[in-house]
Amino acid sequence: MTEKLRKKLILASCTLPFILSVVVHVVVINTLTIDGKKLDSIQGEITQISRENQFLEYKKSQLGSIEGVSKKSEELGMRPVEVSFSKPENKDIALSH
């Protein structure tokens, strides 16, 4: 083996691991960046859904309150009904056959 060939082999054996490590580093960084962007997107969706959920809980509480029901019934044209109960004249109605 000549001295030039030997130096080229040594240089190649030193630079090849470096080049491979740079390629692996770039792939890992790229993967982490993509995953980070996905995570940010999902976190944004979670925040948006959480806000919508809070708003719906608020609307639910409004609709379920006495004031909300009264207001809605007025909007629908409903009016209060008076209920009266009559007392039976014969108190033994349930006992008579």
Residue 20 lies in a domain: yes
Residue 14 lies in a domain: yes
> What is the domain extent for residue 15?
3-59
Residue 74 lies in a domain: no
Between CA 70 and CA 94 the distance in angstroms is 38
Residue 28 lies in a domain: yes
Residue 80 lies in a domain: no
Residue 81 lies in a domain: no
Residue 45 lies in a domain: yes
Answer whether 46's CB lies under 8 Å from 55's CB. no
Residue 65 lies in a domain: no
Is the model's pTM score more than 0.85? no
Between CA 86 and CA 32 the distance in angstroms is 78
* pLDDT per position as a tens digit, 49-92: 999 999 999 988 877 788 878 888 888 888 888 888 777 676 66
Answer whether 91's CB lies under 8 Å from 97's CB. no
